[in-house]
Amino acid sequence: MDAPSIAVAVPAYNASAWIVETLESVVGQTSPPDEVIVVDDGSTDDTFERATSVDPAIRVIRQENRGAPGAYNRGFREASSEFVAMCPADDVWQPRKLEWQRETLRTNRDVDITFGHAELFGRLSGPFPKPESSGTLEPTRFLAAMYKRCLIAAPTAVVRRGLHERLGGFREDLSIEDYEFWLRALSSNAAFYFDPRLLVRLRQHDSNLGSSNALLVWELNLWIHRRYADAVQDKHLVRRVIARDLATIGRCQLGRGNAVAARGSYRDSLRERSSLSALGAVLLLQLPGAPKIISWLRSDESANNSVAAKDAG
């Protein structure tokens, strides 16, 4: 059987420092993509000029800034291939990524989304979380695992374009649009395949670490977990995950010095699942000396938020 066609969608916003290396890793694949579409999402630097300098076959489209999900949606719409590979403008593909993924899709025609192993480099290093098994993933078990934590590094993913269209694309009002899309796809019986080989190196830098947005990230995680709670068969798991989200939100709120909001989040966490740490936090925050404790915690705000943001990924 012929291998399916694959386009590459590259959302780019002020990515001048990295986009050339990224695109060279894409066009230099042992099995090159059928299309490469860069969506310059309102950059104010020379991202457009650098992107157009790499290869004349690359299409570079300009649009007003709509964020990564809006840029990805535009890339999917512009593509004509059967599948679309996601590629942020700062990551680096391994040379055989598309070769391996084409073979996966050629021999597993029912697969809708294939993804693989990734590792972080730069400001943070280490492996990206991954599923326990490989190959075509059992839907119920994988949904439960994904509900606990995102196990798909979006820059490794190749998505059936028809699935993206059928599900309505990525939500452009969310900053963790990929995680919500994976759960939506799983809830719609999409077939996922995991390749345990290293496919992508994920560059970590000041612009994408997002430690200052840890509270927002965990609030979005909570919203997503509540939205897809009915799709998960294990209701004890649902309560554990939501309780964890609420407790982490409380910790982030403590880091910002908001004792009242933190106490409310910890109380909500206790309503989902009993926890000595959450109970201790509620009792502690009722003490007269709580403001002094908050003042001490705020001195460690950046460390708390950095850990929370990394865990949320």
Whether 55 maps to a domain, the answer reads: yes
Residue 167 and residue 254 in one domain: no
CB atoms within 10 A of CB 6: 24
- pLDDT band, very low/low/confident/very high, at 303 (cuts 50, 70, 90): very low
Domain boundary among 187, 209, 231: 209
- Whether 197 maps to a domain, the answer reads yes
**What percent of the chain has a predicted confidence (pLDDT) above 90?**
75
Cα–Cα distance measured from residue 98 to residue 35, given in angstroms and rounded to the nearest whole number: 12
241: nearest Cα among 211, 275, 280, 210: 275
Long-range CB contacts (within 8 A, 24+) of 225-229: 225/147, 227/180, 228/147, 228/183, 228/184, 228/187
131 and 158: one domain? yes
Q: Are strands 83-86 and 59-63 parallel, antiparallel or unpaired?
A: unpaired
Report yes or no on 1 lying in a domain. Answer: no
DSSP string, 104-149: HHHH-TT-SEEEEEEEEEESS-EEPP--SS-EEPPHHHHHHHHHHS
Query: Is residue 94 domain-shared with residue 215, that is, in the same domain?
Result: no
Residues 203 and 238 in one domain: no
Residue range of the domain that includes 227: 211-312
277 and 240 in a common domain: yes
> 250, 267 in Cβ contact below 8 A?
no
- Burial (CB < 10 A; 0-12, 13-18, 19+), residue 283, is exposed
Asked whether residue 51 is assigned to any structural domain, the reply reads: yes
Angstrom distance (rounded) from CA 308 to CA 245: 10
Examine residue 59 and state whether it is found in any structural domain, yes or no: yes
Clarify whether residues 133 and 205 are in a common domain: yes
Give buried/exposed letters for 233-247 (b at 16+ CB in 10 A, else e).
eeeeebebbbbbbbb
pLDDT surpassing 60 at residue 305? no
> Could you say which of 209, 240, 275 is where a domain stops?
209
What is the mean predicted confidence (pLDDT) over 130-136?
96
Alpha-helix runs per DSSP H in 155-258? 161-166, 177-187, 206-209, 214-227, 235-255
Residues 54 and 196 in one domain: yes
Q: Are residues 198 and 255 in the same domain?
A: no
**266: in domain:** yes
Question: Residue 14, by phi and psi: left (phi above 0), alpha (psi -120 to 50) or beta?
Answer: left
In terms of pLDDT, which residue wins out, 100 or 214?
100
**What average pLDDT does the structure give for the chain?**
90
One domain for residues 226 and 201: no
What is the CATH number for 103? 3.90.550.10
Identify whether residues 226 and 253 lie together within a single domain. Answer: yes
Of the three residues 209, 238, 268, the one that is the final residue of a domain is 209
> In terms of pLDDT, which residue wins out, 110 or 1?
110
Q: Is 46 helix (H, G, I), strand (E, B) or coil?
A: coil
pLDDT at 257: 81
**18-63 residue pLDDT tens:** 999 999 999 999 999 999 999 999 999 999 999 999 999 999 999 9
What are 35's strand-pairing partners? 7
Q: Which of 22-26, 54-58, 111-115, 208-212 has the lowest mean pLDDT?
A: 208-212
Residues 247 and 258 in one domain: yes
Residue 110 forms part of a structural domain: yes
Global model pTM greater than 0.85: yes
| Amino acid identity for residue 209 in this structure | L
Return the pLDDT at 36: 98
Structural domain count of the chain = 2
Q: What is the mean pLDDT of residues 272-296?
A: 73
Among 119-133, 146-160, 231-245, 272-286, which stretch is predicted with the lowest mean pLDDT?
Answer: 272-286
Q: Residue 235 falls within a domain, yes or no? A: yes
Q: Is the same domain home to 154 and 129?
A: yes
Closest by CA to 115, choosing from 96, 130, 132, 94, is: 130
